[in-house]
């Protein structure tokens, strides 16, 4: 029987500064389980597509004429790939040796596993939480109010939340970070690709929510390690990033939750966000960044 193998899809946008480290971690040396490597570029103005084409002849480059977002571009890559497993990989990642075989192993052991995520580390070697529970109003309250930063809260709730765990045990989870996702093609063919209504953020959670509802298992595999820089494509536009995050969150609730839950979420966002608007209005009059954040939070309050 042939060993399982995977294709890799990397979606880029203004990723010229990050893509070298990512591709070199895959290609030097190239693991025999890796088939085709596809870079799908979201019409980057910084020349990412041309750079990859010129410097990495063994990589297939798909240059899009418009920015389709994370979901749309990954769908293009998955449609072009042919392997039984497809890895969706952010360009701001550095794959550590042995990660690919470690991620494939759970699929061989359990036919119902549809998607696997690795342990993520920051560039300084510290843990980057990468597996979580599906959202509830309580979890959003914890996140938006930043209660998770309080030591007392972490003592009370830390054992109940995967995101606050030590990430040492392979286990079934609700969803894993979209920075690195290895999926079984059979599962994708059943539930479809990522939902393009999500331009950026939450699309991986929506996808894994649909996979779980279809009977597929989402698996966290700490034996595979990937360094994730994080936010490379969006750190230059913090206000726009915030707007995208909440647009996607609202879309998830509209799609998968009741009207009551959606309404309560809007009330929660209003109660947490309005004080931020007021503080930024007072302190940010002469600060362009603070003014842009205040405008973003104000849009979040009133967006449909």
The arithmetic mean of pLDDT across residues 52-71, rounded, is 96
Least confident span in 52-61, 110-119, 164-173 = 164-173
Tens digit of each residue's pLDDT (9 = 90 or more) over 204-216: 999 999 999 999 9
pLDDT confidence of 109, banded at 50, 70, 90? very high
Q: What confidence score (pLDDT) does residue 138 get?
A: 76
Does position 97 have pLDDT exceeding 90, yes or no? yes
pLDDT band, very low/low/confident/very high, at 1 (cuts 50, 70, 90): very low
Residue 300 and residue 304: Cα distance in Å, rounded? 9
Cα distances from 102 to residues 170, 219, 291, 293, in angstroms, run 11, 12, 46, 41
pLDDT band at 106 (very low <50, low <70, confident <90, very high): very high
Strands (E), 76-229: 85-89, 93-95, 113-121, 127-128, 131-132, 171-173, 175-176, 180-184, 217-228
Separation CA 113–CA 91 (nearest Å): 25
Which of these ranges, 35-39, 64-68, 242-246, 286-290, has the smallest mean pLDDT?
Answer: 286-290
CA atoms of 164 and 157, how far apart (whole Å) = 8
> Residue 231 pLDDT more than 60?
no
pLDDT tens track for 70-90: 999 999 999 999 999 999 999
């Amino acid at each position: 029987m042939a060993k399982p193998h995977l294709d890799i899809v990397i979606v880029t946008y203004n990723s010229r500064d990050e893509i070298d480290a990512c591709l070199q971690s895959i290609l030097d040396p190239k693991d025999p389980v890796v088939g085709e490597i596809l870079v799908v570029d979201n019409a980057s103005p910084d020349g990412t597509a041309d750079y990859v084409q010129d410097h990495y002849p063994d990589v297939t480059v798909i240059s899009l004429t418009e920015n389709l977002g994370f979901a749309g571009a990954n769908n293009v890559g998955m449609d072009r790939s042919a392997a039984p497993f497809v890895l969706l990989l952010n360009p701001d990642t550095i794959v550590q040796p042995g990660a690919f075989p470690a991620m494939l192993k759970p699929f061989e052991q359990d036919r119902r596993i549809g998607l696997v995520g690795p342990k993520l580390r920051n560039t300084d070697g510290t843990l980057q939480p990468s597996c979580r529970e599906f959202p509830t109003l309580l979890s959003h309250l914890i996140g938006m109010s930043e209660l998770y930063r309080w030591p007392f809260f972490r003592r009370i709730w830390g054992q109940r939340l995967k995101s606050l765990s030590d990430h040492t045990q392979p286990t079934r989870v609700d969803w894993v970070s979209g920075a690195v996702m290895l999926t079984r093609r059979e599962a994708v063919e059943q539930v479809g690709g990522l939902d393009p209504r999500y331009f950026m953020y939450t699309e991986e959670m929506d996808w894994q929510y649909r996979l779980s509802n279809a009977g597929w298992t989402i698996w966290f595999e700490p034996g595979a390690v990937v360094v994730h820089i994080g936010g490379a494509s969006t750190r230059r536009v913090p206000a726009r990033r915030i707007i995208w995050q909440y647009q996607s969150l609202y879309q998830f609730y509209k799609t998968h939750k009741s009207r009551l839950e959606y309404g309560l979420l809007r009330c929660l966002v209003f109660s947490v966000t309005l004080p931020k608007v007021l503080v930024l209005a007072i302190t940010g009059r002469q600060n362009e960044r603070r003014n842009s954040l205040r405008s973003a939070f104000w849009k979040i309050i009133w967006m449909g």
